[in-house]
Every structure is written in structure tokens, then in C-alpha cells.
């Protein structure tokens, strides 16, 4: 098996037949042995039925049905764990990422690269706010993190077998896959393309979910928010000390006319807000520690169609 194409699916019934047709045309023309692993991530439409029909139509299509909706990162992890190819290629089911780019990814892999990133030159069908926020997010996280995450790059890329084995050794369950792809390292290169609009349906990625994903990425690969909270606390303490010195000097020089209620209230509210913000940052990291300490699997598989052995839910490694 040369290529394993990983397709997480959540309510993507309108795109699956077209996706399969384009993938089959591209891969059959390339002459490479391939498989397409489709992960049903708790879809509420007939996505699973269509995937099973594709499996019966072509045994190279394997279907993994998760027990519920675990989220795209977990579904992608399930597909990567089940991949049998020498290279794995995550691909969105909405056809925004063109399957026709796969031969170029394979060609760069054969040149000796372990990771081939597909970088977006444009993002058609998306609002200016979404494009701008994505642009800002990648620049911010790369300023905060010690790991360089390729900007304007989604999950669409090629990962060699050594990279897959490295990813399987990572036990964390709150996963930001774009960061993990970069963290494992290995020799990488880029190919470029123009991202198309969705083939069918509507995206389930609201701005709130995108915001949570951004917070997940920043807290997974950076301790800068904790450091900023500490620096802000020091700055506020310094300002409070200077203000106290000024009050003492002013009282000695001009007396105390018993005024200053507004300034006291402003100071108290400001200090209270800073403390709550710092506690919120600490709570975000504490929540991550709590989730990891439970040692729950990343995903659970209900049923598998295709493949000799069903993939097992990833279990954490025990540490002394």
C-alpha cells in the first residue's frame, strides 16, 4: 500500500460520491496502490450509509464508525492510526482541498521529504473575516510557540510512515493536529494551491468553534499566556506601588480632604479584572491537566468496514 487517504466525515453526504469519484480517478491514473479511510464522526444524516455503500462498491474504501461525535481532531487521529500505507494524506470531505494535488504530494515524498504541506494561496467561498482571522491566528501562534507551524496550511498534507509512527507515540487527548504535525519535525517541503469553496452543504465550523480551536492551539504549544499573566501582574503591582507613593507624598504635602471615591472604585475594579483574567488563563491550563489525568481514550470505534483488524482506541502511556 502506497497511499492512505484519510477523510474525516461529519454530515458530508452531499459530497461523498463526488469525492470518491475524483479520488479514484486521480489514484487509478497514478497507478499507485491506495486506500481511502473514511471516519464517520457521529454524523446525523445518511453519511454512514453512503460510506458503507462506497465500501461495497470499492473494497479500497474502508469505513470507521466512531461511537459518537468526538470532533475532527479525534476522527483524524483514528484515520491516521488505521492507515496501512507508506504515506497518509488527510483530506477534507467537502472538496475544498483538491484530490488532484495528491500526485504532486507523492512526487515530493519520493524526492525524500517526510512531510509535504499543502499551502493555500487563496481561500474562495470564505468571508473576509474568516480569512483575516486565520491569517492573524497563524502569525500569533508562531510568535508565541517554539514550534513553527506552517501558516495558511490546514490538515491537507502528506505524512510518511515514520511521521505516522511518531504521531502514534503521542498520548495526549486534547489534540491540535496542525501543531502535532509540526512538532514531530522530520524533513518537510511545501506545495501550493488555491482552495475551492465547499462542494455541498454548510460548514459546521462557527466562529465560536474556531475561537475554541485557536485557544486549544495556543494553550497546547505555548506557555506565553501564563507568562503574560505574570508580567501583567508585575506591571499592575508596580503601578499600584507608584500610585501609593504618590498618595503618601500628596497627603503629606496637601493634606487629605477625604476624596477619591471614583479613583478607589476604578482601581479596585481594574485590579479585580486583572486577577480574574489571570485566574482564567491558569484555569485553562489546569483544565488541560485535568483532562489528561483522566487517561480516557481519544476515540471509541463502534464498527469497521474493511481491513483485517479494527483500529483500537488510543490508550495513554503510563508514566511513573
The predicted-structure confidence for 1-10, as pLDDT tens digits, reads as follows: 788 999 998 8
Does residue 313 register a pLDDT over 50?
no
Model confidence at 227, pLDDT cuts 50, 70, 90, reads low
Model confidence at 30, pLDDT cuts 50, 70, 90, reads confident
Task: Give the mean model confidence (pLDDT) for residues 21-50.
Answer: 88
Does residue 318 register a pLDDT over 50?
no
> Would you state the cell numbers that stand for residue 95, as one nine-digit string?
472538496
Cβ proximity of 63 and 38 under 8 Å? yes
The pLDDT value given to residue 212: 59
Closest alpha carbon to 36 in 47, 49, 21: 21
The pLDDT value given to residue 316: 40
Q: What are phi and psi for residue 57, nearest 5 degrees?
A: -75, -40
Does residue 121 register a pLDDT over 70?
yes
Name the percent of the chain lying above pLDDT 90.
Answer: 2
> Would you state the cell numbers that stand for residue 49, as one nine-digit string?
450509509
pTM over 0.85: no
What are the CB-based long-range contacts (under 8 Å, 24+) for 292-298? Answer: 292/172, 292/173, 292/174, 292/316, 296/173, 297/173, 298/70, 298/74, 298/77, 298/78, 298/173, 298/175
Cβ proximity of 4 and 34 under 8 Å? yes
Task: Give the mean model confidence (pLDDT) for residues 133-153.
Answer: 69
Task: Give the mean model confidence (pLDDT) for residues 25-36.
Answer: 88
Does residue 72 register a pLDDT over 50?
yes
Which has the higher per-residue pLDDT, 166 or 312?
166
Which has the higher per-residue pLDDT, 256 or 97?
97
Amino acid at each position: 500500500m502506497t497511499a492512505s487517504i484519510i477523510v474525516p466525515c461529519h454530515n458530508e453526504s452531499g459530497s461523498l460520491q463526488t469525492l470518491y469519484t475524483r479520488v479514484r480517478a486521480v489514484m487509478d491514473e497514478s497507478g499507485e496502490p491506495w486506500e481511502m479511510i473514511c471516519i464517520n464522526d457521529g454524523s446525523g444524516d445518511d453519511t454512514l450509509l453512503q460510506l458503507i455503500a462506497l465500501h461495497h462498491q470499492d473494497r479500497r474504501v474502508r469505513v470507521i464508525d466512531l461511537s459518537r461525535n468526538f470532533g475532527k481532531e479525534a476522527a483524524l487521529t483514528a484515520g491516521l492510526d488505521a492507515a496501512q500505507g507508506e504515506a497518509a494524506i488527510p483530506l477534507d470531505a467537502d472538496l475544498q482541498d483538491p484530490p488532484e494535488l495528491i500526485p504532486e504530494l507523492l512526487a515530493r515524498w519520493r524526492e525524500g521529504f517526510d512531510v509535504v504541506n499543502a499551502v493555500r494561496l487563496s481561500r474562495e467561498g470564505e468571508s473576509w473575516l474568516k480569512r483575516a482571522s486565520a491569517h492573524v491566528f497563524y502569525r500569533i501562534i508562531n510568535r508565541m510557540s517554539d514550534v513553527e507551524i506552517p501558516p495558511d496550511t490546514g490538515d491537507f498534507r502528506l505524512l510518511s510512515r515514520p511521521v505516522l509512527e511518531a504521531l502514534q507515540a503521542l498520548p495526549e487527548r486534547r489534540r491540535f493536529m496542525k501543531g502535532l504535525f509540526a512538532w514531530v519535525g522530520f524533513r518537510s517541503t511545501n506545495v501550493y494551491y488555491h482552495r475551492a469553496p465547499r462542494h455541498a452543504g454548510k460548514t459546521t465550523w462557527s466562529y465560536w468553534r474556531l475561537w475554541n480551536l485557536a485557544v486549544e492551539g495556543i494553550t497546547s504549544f505555548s506557555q506565553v499566556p501564563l507568562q503574560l499573566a505574570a508580567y501583567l501582574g508585575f506591571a499592575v503591582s508596580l503601578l499600584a506601588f507608584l500610585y501609593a507613593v504618590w498618595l503618601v507624598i500628596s497627603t503629606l504635602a496637601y493634606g487629605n480632604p477625604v476624596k477619591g471615591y471614583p479613583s478607589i472604585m476604578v482601581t479596585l475594579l481594574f485590579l479585580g479584572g486583572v486577577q480574574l483574567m489571570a485566574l482564567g488563563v491558569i484555569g485553562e491550563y489546569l483544565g488541560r491537566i485535568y483532562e489528561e489525568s483522566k487517561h480516557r481514550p481519544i476515540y471509541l470505534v463502534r464498527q469497521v468496514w474493511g481491513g483485517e483488524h479494527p483500529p483500537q482506541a488510543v490508550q495513554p502511556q503510563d508514566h511513573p
